[in-house]
Amino acid sequence: MLTKTLTLLALSSTLIGCAHTSGGIAPSNIPLEPGSYRELGKAVGGDCQYKLLGLIPLSGGNQTHSALEDALEDIPNTTALVQITSDTYSQYWILWSNTCTQVYGTAVTTK
């Protein structure tokens, strides 16, 4: 019985995995003159897509512009982001999978 359980566990683990991919880097999402803004703090936003059995979409999403909009809403009074980076990661499980895009940056407001 133990051998069957360990074999099943080993085979199941081959259906599970994850991947992480670096995205882009940008100085800001809108043109800004140096010294024309005040930093508010670090902002993070994300957008994900989920699939059943890795094939059937359960949600729309995983779009960079949606992740950027989410990051802009992370800190109140944010008018732009500077020092922007983005990453995408995927997770594959036996019954579902998800792919997410995350945007990181420094939230700023104009002076």
Could you report the per-residue pLDDT of 40-95, keeping only the tens digit for each? 999 999 999 999 998 899 998 899 999 999 999 999 999 999 999 999 999 998 89
The pLDDT of residue 66: 96
Whether residue 64 contacts residue 88, with contact meaning beta carbons closer than 8 Å, is answered with no
Burial class (CB within 10 angstroms; exposed 0-12, middle 13-18, buried 19+) of 75: middle
The pLDDT of residue 97: 94
Buried b / exposed e over 33-62, threshold 16 CB at 10 Å, is: eeeebeebeebebbbbbbbeeeeeeeeebb
> Is 1 inside any structural domain?
no
Q: Which domain holds residue 51?
A: 16-110
> Is 59 inside any structural domain?
yes
Indicate the pTM of the whole model. 0.80
The pLDDT of residue 23: 81
Residue 10, pLDDT > 80, answer no
> Is 2 inside any structural domain?
no
> Is 6 inside any structural domain?
no
- Tokens representing 49 are 């897509």
The pLDDT of residue 1: 78
Q: Show the CA angle centred on residue 71, arms to residues 16 and 50, nearest 5°.
A: 30
> Is 25 inside any structural domain?
yes
Most confident of 10-19, 28-37, 42-51: 42-51
The pLDDT of residue 46: 97
* Number of domains forming the structure of the chain: 1
